Structures are given as C-alpha cells and as structure tokens.
Structure 1
Amino acid sequence: LFTVSAGGQPKYSQDFAPLPNGISHVAYNDLEAAKAVINEQTCAVIVEPVQGEGGVIPADIEFLKGLRELCDQFGALLIFDEVQTGVGRTGALYAYMNYGVIPDVLTTAKALGGGFPVGAMLTTDK
C-alpha cells in the first residue's frame, strides 16, 4: 500500500483508499521543490535515479547530490528505486553508480530475476 502511494500515480492507488498520510511529491529534478518539503519531520526520500514511467528521464547529478545532502542534514534515509534500472540496464550494475551518490537503501527487481518474479532491498548499516 505504501509503495503505490509513494509512486504518486492515482491510477495505481485509487482502489486502495484510504491511503497513508504524510507523503509529499515534488517535480522530478527540482531540488528547490525538494528543499521546500524535506525537513526534520522527513524520515525518507524515495527517488528513481532514472525515472522509468515518467519517460526514461535521468536525474541531474546535482539533484541527486542535493537530495543526499538534505537527507544527511535532516537524518532521513535516501532510498533509490532501481526496480527498472538495476542489474546493468544503465551500463553500470546500478544506475546510482553512474552518479557517485550512494543511497542508504536500494530496491531492485525485474532484471534481477531474469524472468523469475524476485526483488530485493539492499541497505547500508544506517
């Protein structure tokens, strides 16, 4: 339920009401918009390093670096959703490796299973 809510696409979440509260969405690659909503109440920031359903749009490196800095500043986890981009689909094992910005949590699936329905969540010690 949280995942479909966090994605921000009503076509996937409308049938699961009531949805969890407290989720903010900002425009992709808009660091100023992110700065306006990330604060000491923020527990995590979830972003795709390459936006999949939005049109295969890569993140600006400054956007990801800025999110990393904001998460560090406010003690929030930086979560990269690499379900579509992981396991070599961007030239590196994971897209974040092309940016040099390390997430606290990484989600992966699709190519990970080679056709078998499997997913994984990888974390740092944080």
Structure 2
Amino acid sequence: MDFLINLLVSAGILMLLAYLMPQVHIKSFWTALWVAFLIGILNATLGLLIRFPLNLVTLFFLQFVVKLVVTAIIIKVVDALIKNFEVKGFWPALVIAIALAVASTLIERNDEEYDSAEYQNALVQPTQPSMIG
C-alpha cells in the first residue's frame, strides 16, 4: 500500500512540476505514473549501484547530495526512454529529484507517525469524558 501511495504522490508531483516549470513536459497522468514507476525501479537498482561507489569516495559525508544527483541522472535517463516525458536540462531534473525526495520523506514520516504505539493506543482506548460539574 505504501508503494502505491508513494507512486501516486510522485506522479502528482511530476504533473505539478510539469505545470509549474516550462522545461518539464508530461503528456498525461498515465505517463506521469509510468515515469514515477520507472524512476523508482531504476533508483532502487541502477541508482544503488551508482550511489555506492560515489558514497565511498565521499566517505558517506555527502550521501544526500549524491542521492539527489544520481536521481537527477536517472530522471534524465527516463527522459531518454519515454517519448511523452521531457526534461530540458539537468537543473530541472535536480528540482524534480529534490521534490520527490521531500515528498517521500514526508510520506515516510507520516507513515511512522501512524505506526507509533501512541497513535495505535489512541485508536484502541477512547478518551473518557470529564466529570466537571
């Protein structure tokens, strides 16, 4: 379920950025879903293989920056693969990578909040009405 939510949010962000940025073009929401799926799959496979040696070179100090740059490169690769998706330049791809990273972080944080014991206990145990009289 988390994967589906992340995929839908990522596609929505891609559509929003295509609307806001003249350098980004996406034909339809279905194209955005396909692009979001490919970015996720390539980031989990190819991105991991590219990030690991770069993180070793930087001694893992620039891990977040390396991840953003590699994601931007993957976005450009997806741009080359998908006919109805176009990103003109590296900087717009980097902006997309930043937006996707922020959204993913917010989704994860929200998911962790709902999984917490405090939240689960609040659902199970209803609060007692106060007896102020």
For the aligned pair, the TM-score class normalised by the smaller chain equals under 0.3
TM-score, normalised via structure 2 length: 0.25
Name which one, 1 or 2, has greater alpha-carbon Rg: 2
TM-score, normalised via structure 1 length: 0.26
Higher percent of residues as strand: 1
